[in-house]
Amino acid sequence: MTIKLLVLNIQWDTDDDDTIAQTLPQSMEVEVDLQDIDDGWTEINSVICDQLSDETGYCVLGYQLQGYGGQ
């Protein structure tokens, strides 16, 4: 089962560069295939952070989630 999550209030690791931080999205959509998750929340967090980082090139310090769909 694949779920879609809305990642909100993303805190990016920009080394306190406010100019860069202002150009990065505050929310993004990610998809997590729960069938690929073996290790619970830790692995889900890694999948989310990897997707966000792959999309923007910046690491994530924190975020909030909102679920809104599934397949």
The model's confidence at residue 25, banded by pLDDT at 50, 70 and 90, is very high
Q: What is the pLDDT of residue 36?
A: 85
50, 42, 44, 52: which is closest to 2 by C-alpha?
44
What is the span of the domain harbouring residue 58?
2-70
Q: What average pLDDT does the chain have?
A: 91
Assign 31 to helix, strand or coil.
Answer: strand
Dihedral sign computed on CA atoms, order 44, 45, 50, 55: positive
Check pLDDT > 70 for residue 45. Answer: yes
The domain total for the chain is: 1
